[in-house]
A and B are shown apart, each in its own frame.
Chain A
Amino acid sequence: MTTVQFSEETYKKIQEIVQRYPEGKQKSALIPVLHIVQAEHQGWLDVPVMDHVAETLGILPVEVYEVASFYSMFNLTPVGKHVLYVCQTGPCMLLGSDKIMNHIKEKLNIEEGETTSDGLFTLKPAECLGACGYGPMLQLGETYRENLTIEKVDELLEELKKLG
């Protein structure tokens, strides 16, 4: 038995998701469930959380670990409150994503992959996010910020700082 508990709502949602698949194929719910519990646990998955997912879905913990470590949207170490994924791939690069990345690094005084000391921001490089016509761009939570300029990035960072 693991010590972690999810919210009632989460257990209900998991039940609902499992219904989408045939009997005995509840493992298919794993990725959707990891999205939900990661959001509920400060944006990352620690081992007890993953173990409890395994228990809830009736699969082995290792089946959860191997999936969680494969996909770039799952974090296995703590992240800041706001995670900025800046797209770096060719099409965004043509439109100046390097400048955006360097500007954020300077502004927040962190390198790629790092979190600010106040725990507010994590900066991550991302590969093409399917928004190439609206680059340079970044992903923030469940939203995209597109057609970025240095000014827009400054405004965004201010806005997020105010949110705390």
Chain B
Amino acid sequence: MGETRLLLKHADVPGIRHYDVYRAHDGYKSAEKALAMTQEEILEEVKTSGLRGRGGAGFPTGMKWSFLAKPEGVPRHLVVNADESEPGTFKDRYLMEFIPHLLIEGMLISSFCLGSNTSYIYIRGEFAWIADILEEAIAEAKANGWLGKDIKGTGFDLEIYVQRGAGAYICGEETALLESLEGKRGNPRIKPPFPAVKGLWGRPTVVNNVESIAAVVPIIDMTGTEYAKIGVGRSTGTKLISACGNINKPGVYEIDMTQTVEEFIYSDEFCGGIANGKRLKACIPGGSSVPILPANLLLTTAEGKPRYMNYESLAEGGFATGTMMGSGGFIVLDEDQDIVYHTYTLARFYRHESCGQCSPCREGTGWMEKILKTIDEGKGKMSDIDLLWDIQRKIEGNTICPLGDAAAWPVAAAIRHFREEFEWHVLNPEECLTRNYGLGNFADPIEIKEQA
């Protein structure tokens, strides 16, 4: 069973980036339908669809929209989060680069539902050419009467602006994003108040991921009830997965979340197996912040049931033996990879990206990076592993924003599942510089798959 394409259905059509081609492939059909509905009806469809935020936290989108405060005379805003900087994640980029009008159409429907007359796309600064693609799509939509004043005679006005960031992972956190959009440093705000009450310039604001807003288009087209039939349980609809690391076919795949992890990794319709005929060692299935799992716990749960590519199944076992769907950034590590070194690069990332407001995060990320480097270089002590464990525990839950947790979890999971590999680094200071721990001494038995 291959991909289920709702968002990327027409992504390969030549010229789909442009209005005429997009329109000829049912483009703006959902917008037409939505503009004839009431705001409440649209909200109801989104709620019924069961759509969960695709930015990482998985919060139900319809519920988020229903929290939006609507004080008389105060403008409201929709802000699309296109910061996409969680390592392993490159799905929103794909969507915006190849089928930008899908995002614009989704924003039109969502802005209409929420009552936002000025909506913004906050895109990471390095995606400069994608910002240009979006600007072009916006100009085309405007020229065809889908943006601007009195859209299609409904009396609804909407302008969409693209704002580039300037290189800061923390600006993906929604309140830091709003600070940045206001022309400030990306320092996350203390919540509450939540953006739904006090967001951009103190006005009620909804912040949603690119993929969440794009998903509104098929939801309106097919109805929330039909959308909810795709997928399993509370994992409704389709999810974009960006697969990378040591696999044969890296790329962006749209799945209906019924696949097993094993099928996703080994099937030719998806990752196509581990590159260079190597064996699978570990995987971080939802972006660098979610717990890493060794191959055996990845493919099956602790109870020995197959693990599936959906929110519930990936989370089965909690942090002890499970992980998370997160942003869908699927990172695969083969048998040659060094868990200590890999974890060190992630720790360095979080230290670099900490905004520095809270001391547990600012100091803790720096300490974790230093200790991991020491262990990686064969200069560590056994007590360093415990120290590392202790530091990550002191960060988690003690910070203003979840970046602290995001920095702590990868370190915690690496020690939890690969402690022997850390110990081996300490006990073999010479050898760890010249070869990897590999699979030979691996703590858990790993089932080795036949290569096709």
Contacts and interface: CB of A to CB of B under 8 A. Distances in A.
Interface stretch (A5-13, A29-37, A155-163): A29-37
Interface string B348-359: 110011000000
B167 A72 contact: yes
B129 A90 contact: no
A29 B183 contact: yes
B167 A71 contact: yes
Contact of B87 (A31, A70, A128, A143): A128
B156 interface: no
A134 B183 CA distance: 32
A28 interface: yes
A27 B186 contact: no
B437 to A, nearest CB: 15
B175 interface: no
A23 to B, nearest CB: 11
B166 interface: yes
Given A129-B126, A133-B251, A71 B165 contact: yes
Contacts of B349: 89-90, 127-128
A32 B122 CA distance: 11
Interface string B338-355: 000110011011001100
A88 interface: yes
B215 interface: no
Nearest to B83: A130
A28 B129 contact: no
A148 interface: no
B345 A88 contact: yes
Interface stretch (B224-232, B237-245, B308-316): B237-245
Interface string A37-78: 000000000000000000000010001001100111110000
Most A CB within 10 A of own CB, among B334, B342, B345:
B345
Most A CB within 10 A of own CB, among B75, B124, B167, B243:
B167
Interface residues of B, number: 56
Contact of B124 (A28, A93, A130): A130
B166 A22 contact: no
Contacts of A71: 125, 165-168, 186
Interface in A73-124: 73-74, 88-91, 93-95
A88 B165 CA distance: 20
Contacts of A66: 184-185
A142 interface: yes
Contacts of B353: 127
Contacts of B81: none
Nearest to A91: B244
B163 A31 contact: yes
Contacts of A88: 345, 348
A27 B183 contact: yes
B183 A133 contact: no
B384 to A, nearest CB: 21
27 contacts: A20-B118, A20-B163, A22-B75, A27-B183, A31-B183, A34-B166, A35-B125, A59-B183, A66-B184, A72-B167, A73-B166, A89-B288, A89-B349, A90-B88, A90-B342, A90-B349, A94-B244, A94-B245, A94-B331, A94-B334, A95-B246, A128-B86, A128-B169, A131-B90, A133-B251, A134-B250, A143-B129
Closest 4 pairs between A and B when the two form their complex, measured CB to CB: A71-B166, A72-B167, A133-B250, A30-B183
